[in-house]
Amino acid sequence: MWLFKQPFSWEMWLATICILIYTTFTVWFLEHEFNPDFGGPLENQISTTLWFAFSSLFFAHRERIRSNSARVAVAAWLFLVFVLNSSYTANLSSMLTVKRWSRRDIEWLKQNNLSVGCENRSSFVRNYMINVYKFHPNQIIYVHGEHDIVDKFKSKKMHALFFESPYERVFLNKYPGDYTAITAAYKFGGLGFVFQKGSPMAKEFSEAILELAENGKLKSLEEQWLTPPQCSNSNRSPETEGLTLPNFWILYVMCAFICTICLVLSVSSQT
């Protein structure tokens, strides 16, 4: 719901509305005295100005601009509108078409006989892929370290990789933004410790691990070693983020500056 507003952040929407109002006021001020399209009764001026503001967003305005100052202001505004429209359309399209992994993607990989990888030391993962996800053994290729993973992805020799969760997080933190992890839909039980039956160490290990989990030490260790603070969690999600004001602030400033110069020149020429 309200997906149409997500391509821009709320700061972008607010800045766009403000610069639209300011530009519209500038055009009205420069044109209303001698341009019939913007003149006449107050109601006509307001309706024409509002229609110009709305239609200019889609380059559909038909009002003639007569003064050179107003033309410069409108040109600056239309350039900003062109950039914003293009960016909005591209970002919205990305949000609507971005790929989200599901069980059907596993079926798609199998049906198209695409190669998937797992680490050569992880026989458990390979058996899990064959026995649970029903991959054909010929589809599964082994990878040998992170450089081999990157090379196989870039050369299209591998289309997906099944990782144990800790290794996956380390890899994504080292290559932020280049790869995406799916959600927890395919997570399974982790590794454990095995002791001889009746060994006193089993109870001690269980109590120690339980204590670490309860006091939050395990969580802090995970965040410290597997999620560096400089790395964003956004690389784990395929969703596209909205554009923010810092991406376009210079265009807003330029448009406002040009409109201000046009107003100042118009006022100074009348005095």
| 132 shares a domain with 68 | no
Mean pLDDT of 74-87: 93
Q: What is the pLDDT of residue 258?
A: 95
Mean pLDDT to the nearest integer, 139-165: 88
Please determine, for residue 142, whether its predicted confidence score (pLDDT) is greater than 80: yes
Predicted TM-score (pTM) above 0.85: no
Residues 226, 114, single domain; the answer is yes
Could you tell me if 178 and 232 are in contact, meaning their C-beta atoms sit under 8 angstroms apart?
no
d(CA 49, CA 160): 55
Q: Which amino acid is at 23?
A: T
Tell whether 94 and 132 lie within a shared domain. no
35 with 116, same domain?
Answer: no
Task: Tell me: do 120 and 202 sit in the same domain.
Answer: yes
* 246 CB-near residues (< 8 Å, 6+ apart): none
CB atoms inside a 10 Å sphere around CB 159: 15
Spatial separation of the C-alpha atoms in residues 58 and 81, rounded to whole Å: 8
Same domain as 136, residue 93: no
* 94, 123, 133, 163 from 120: Cα distances, Å: 35, 7, 18, 11
**pLDDT of 199-245, one tens digit each?**
888 888 888 887 887 787 877 776 776 655 444 444 444 455 668 88
Cβ atoms of residues 74 and 56 within 8 Å: yes
How far is it, in rounded angstroms, from Cα 83 to Cα 228?
Answer: 35
Q: Are residues 195 and 124 in the same domain?
A: yes
Question: Could you tell me if 51 and 24 are in contact, meaning their C-beta atoms sit under 8 angstroms apart?
Answer: no
CA distance 171 to 192: 22
121 and 150 part of one domain? yes
- For residue 47, the enclosing domain spans 3-98+243-270
Task: Give the C-alpha separation, 179 to 99, whole Å.
Answer: 13
Q: Structural domain tally of the chain?
A: 2
Residue 233: predicted pLDDT: 45
Q: Are 206 and 251 members of one domain?
A: no
- pLDDT value at residue 232: 44
Q: Same domain, yes or no, for 141 and 183?
A: yes
Specify whether the CB–CB gap between 236 and 181 falls below 8 A.
Answer: yes
Q: Which pLDDT belongs to residue 235?
A: 44
Q: What percent of the chain has pLDDT over 70?
A: 84
108 lies in the same domain as 146: yes
What sections of the chain are H helices per DSSP?
A: 10-31, 42-56, 68-97, 103-111, 123-131, 146-154, 165-174, 200-214, 217-226, 249-270
- What is the C-alpha separation between 83 and 248, in angstroms, rounded? 9
Q: Are residues 121 and 222 in the same domain?
A: yes
Query: Which residues contact residue 109 at a Cβ distance below 8 angstroms, ignoring those fewer than 6 apart?
Result: 116, 135, 139, 159, 160
Q: Buried (b) or exposed (e) across 197-229, using 16+ Cβ within 10 A?
A: eeeeeeeeeeeeeeeeeeeeeeeeeeeeebbee
Question: Hey, how many other C-beta atoms are within 10 angstroms of the C-beta on 174?
Answer: 13
